[in-house]
Structure 1
Amino acid sequence: MISQDADQRLKRSRKIANLLDGAWGIPHTPWRFGVDALLGLLPVAGDLVSALLGLSIVWQAHKLGAPRTLKLRMLANIGLDFLLGSIPIIGDIADVAYRKNIRNTDLLEAWLKK
């Protein structure tokens, strides 16, 4: 059973993840994109802002007392996305396909349900 505080933090993280990674769908495809993909169009600065926004989910995990290994995995997802984002065109595709924020929220939810 997840506590009420944990549930609220998870819901907050899910909302942020959906805004950043899946706010809009591409018609007639299963692909979704969010603010993260739009920020990725700005060289370097966009990926930096995107990474900083993604840290809010790691912060929620920290406030819930998540283990260091979980937070490191979440940071690794952010770091990988940041590195991929620095490659022109490939980075833009990776922003839509990799969806680091949804991955991190899924990791947090799986940990909370254990």
Structure 2
Amino acid sequence: MAKASRIDPTTFDALPLGKGIAASRQRIEAIERLLERVVVVPGINRPIGLDVMLGLVPIVGDIAAAALGSYIIWEARNLGLSRLQMARMMGNVGFDALLGLVPLVGDAADILFRSNTRNLRIIRKHLDKHHPSSVVLEG
């Protein structure tokens, strides 16, 4: 029997409000986790997040999910990512939003195309190269 998943309440405790690189990185990673990997769906063992859940609400949910994904882009702008990186990130969120507007297909695409995870990967690559002191070792 598949085990039901729960949201770990300690995941989002005490997000840093500082202006430093490490604080921004922690906020971005927490938002990505919220949008893409909050719970694991029993049976298919795929993590889903608020992005998929909001996508179930026609039009308004997809707009809200895109707005939350745009917060990651805003944080990335503050971290000094290049225009090319920002354009790629905007393209990821825009493509995800466009896919989400298609009924049923968009909901399945939200599970497979994780724009916020892709954007987090772009940010991590930039931070690891330009700010190696902000690297967090995951256990």
TM-score, normalised via structure 2 length: 0.76
Among 22, 32, 39, the alignment partner of 1:7 is 22
1:69 aligns with 2:84: yes
> Could you tell me how far apart the structure 1 residues matched to 2:127 and 2:52 are?
28
Task: Give the superposed CA RMSD.
Answer: 1.3
- Computing the radius of gyration from Cα coordinates, the structure with the larger value is 2
Structure 2: gaps spanning 5 or more residues = 1-18, 130-139
Q: Which moved more, 1:61-70 or 1:28-37?
A: 28-37
Give the C-alpha shift of residue 28 in structure 1: 4.8
Residue 22 (structure 1) aligns with: 37
- 1:112 aligned residue (127, 130, 136): 127
Runs of at least 5 residues in structure 1 that lack an aligned partner in the other structure:
none
Counterpart position of 1:98: 113
Percent of paired sites with the same residue: 37
Equivalent residue, structure 2, for 1:47: 62
- The answer to whether the Cα contact below 8 Å between 1:10 and 1:105 also exists between their aligned partners in 2 is no
The amino acid across from 1:13 in the alignment is I
Q: Once the 2 structures are TM-superposed, how far is the Cα of residue 49 of structure 1 from its aligned partner?
A: 0.5
Q: Number of paired residues? A: 111
**Match for 1:93: what amino acid?**
A
Higher helix residue share: 1
